[in-house]
Amino acid sequence: MEGSWDVTASEEMSGTRLSFHCWPSSRLEATRSVAPFGALYTPLKKLPPQCAPQTTLPYDPIRCSCHAVLNPYCQVDFRSKLWVCPFCLQRNHFPPHYADNISETNLPAELIPQYATCEYELQTVPDQGPPCFLFVIDTCAQKEEISELSDSLQQALNLLPTDALVGLITFGTNVSVYDLSSDSIAKSYIFRGNREYSPGRVGELLGCNRHPGQQSQPNGQTSMGGPGQEVLERFLLPASECSFVVESILDDLRCDPWPVPNDKRPARATGCALSVATSLLHLAIPRRGARVMLFTSGPCTSGPGAIVSRMKGEDMRSHADLAKNVEPLHKPACEFY
């Protein structure tokens, strides 16, 4: 329709796409919406200078009591130094350092009409330390797939910050946790794939519980001598220290050696591998964020979290099975994950 709002151009410029173009004015209207309210955001998108500040804003965002953030769509009363939240219509006072300087001709970056995207440097969040990446690799894949994945991971490893913590776990019938502290020989600890392990049990089997007096520090690190410190010295190392070892292990990756009968699916212990991975992170960095990166070629068929039987004669579940609640593995898998 001529004269209508060009939504596509706005989406391409801002890197956002919303499932709605008109916010409901009442709770009843919200319940009548066909699609759930949500937004797709493009991380790291290069925005044109007219759409966003060229530098991050070195302060925390101003928030409403409903947790909405001050933005160009808020109504501002420059005389009373108030702003109205467009979501809940709550009237909020500007903090003193805003109220003393704000005017129609002197706007903060987050109120400039064309700046729909702003990036903040949060001042209230303590330093969380370097990022952490724990690679969890399925060896039940085909040889060619494993080789291509190995090449891709080595390229990704070279792009990580030098201080980023890196760990490596492989799984098939069993789960292997690699000790990255030795350059001379690849050492790994094997866990049976048909059971679940608690963090304490993982630490014990890895030999990291010799010093029981672990204490957590405010930044999420663990005190010297605790099991978390041992994990950081052997299984989660900075990329600058372990890249050669990780690349050597990736070069030597092979398919799961356990034989697979023709009438069965491979024993893929995905649930056990994720259980060990989260336990490892819980021991090393209990109060920090980290990323477990799972690379798998099929469904979990063995151990905790299994979603399909190993027997090929048994069909994989369908949506009808889930709706009728006749899939025996569904509920235990949901509880596990």
- What's the rounded mean pLDDT across residues 185-205? 90
Mark whether 228 and 139 lie in a shared domain: yes
* CB neighbours of residue 139 within 10 Å: 20
In a domain, 11, yes or no: no
Mark whether 106 and 254 lie in a shared domain: no
Read off the pLDDT of residues 64-89 as tens digits, 9 standing for 90 and up. Answer: 999 999 999 999 999 999 999 998 89
**Token pair for 213:** 């007096």
Mark whether 183 and 92 lie in a shared domain: no
Comparing 18 with 4, which gets the higher pLDDT?
18
Domain limit, last residue, from 59, 88, 121? 121
In a domain, 209, yes or no: yes
Mark whether 257 and 164 lie in a shared domain: yes
Mark whether 93 and 173 lie in a shared domain: no
In a domain, 4, yes or no: no
Place of tokens 């004015």: 25
Confidence at residue 210, expressed as pLDDT on a 0 to 100 scale:
55
- What's the rounded mean pLDDT across residues 234-238? 92
Which of these, 160, 108, 104, lies nearest to 135 by C-alpha position? 160
Q: What is the pTM of this model?
A: 0.67
Mark whether 117 and 237 lie in a shared domain: no
Q: CATH number for the domain including 201?
A: 3.40.50.410
In a domain, 12, yes or no: no
* pLDDT more than 90, % of the chain: 46
Q: How many domains does the chain have?
A: 2
Mark whether 67 and 146 lie in a shared domain: no
**Token pair for 306:** 């299994």
Mark whether 215 and 69 lie in a shared domain: no
In a domain, 35, yes or no: no
Mark whether 144 and 60 lie in a shared domain: no
Mark whether 275 and 294 lie in a shared domain: yes
HEC profile for the chain?
CCCCCCHHHHHHHHCEEECCCCCCCCHHHHHCCCCCCCEEECCCCCCCCCCCCCCCECCCCCECCCCCECCCCCEEECCCCEEECCCCCCEEECCHHHHCCCECCECCHHHCCCCCCCCECCCCCCCCCCCEEEEEEECCCCHHHHHHHHHHHHHHHHHCCCCCEEEEEEECCEEEEEECCCCCCCEEEEEECCCCCCHHHHHHHCCCCCCCCCCECCCCCECCCCHHHHHHHHCCEEHHHHHHHHHHHHHCCCCCCCCCCCCECCCCCHHHHHHHHHHHHHHHCCCCCCEEEEECCCCCCCCCCCCCCCECCCCCCCHHHHHHCCCCCHHHHHHHC
Q: CATH number for the domain including 103?
A: 2.30.30.380
Mark whether 177 and 84 lie in a shared domain: no
In a domain, 306, yes or no: yes
In a domain, 291, yes or no: yes
- What's the rounded mean pLDDT across residues 315-329? 80
Banded pLDDT at 5 (limits 50, 70, 90) = low
Spatial contact of 301 and 333, defined as CB atoms under 8 Å apart: no
Q: Is the pLDDT of residue 249 over 90?
A: yes
Confidence at residue 48, expressed as pLDDT on a 0 to 100 scale:
85
Mark whether 56 and 152 lie in a shared domain: no
Confidence at residue 2, expressed as pLDDT on a 0 to 100 scale:
47
In a domain, 227, yes or no: yes
Domain limit, last residue, from 97, 121, 145? 121
Domain limit, last residue, from 89, 121, 153? 121
Residue 55 to residue 120: CA distance in whole angstroms: 9
- Please, what is the average pLDDT of the chain? 86
Range of the domain at 108: 50-121
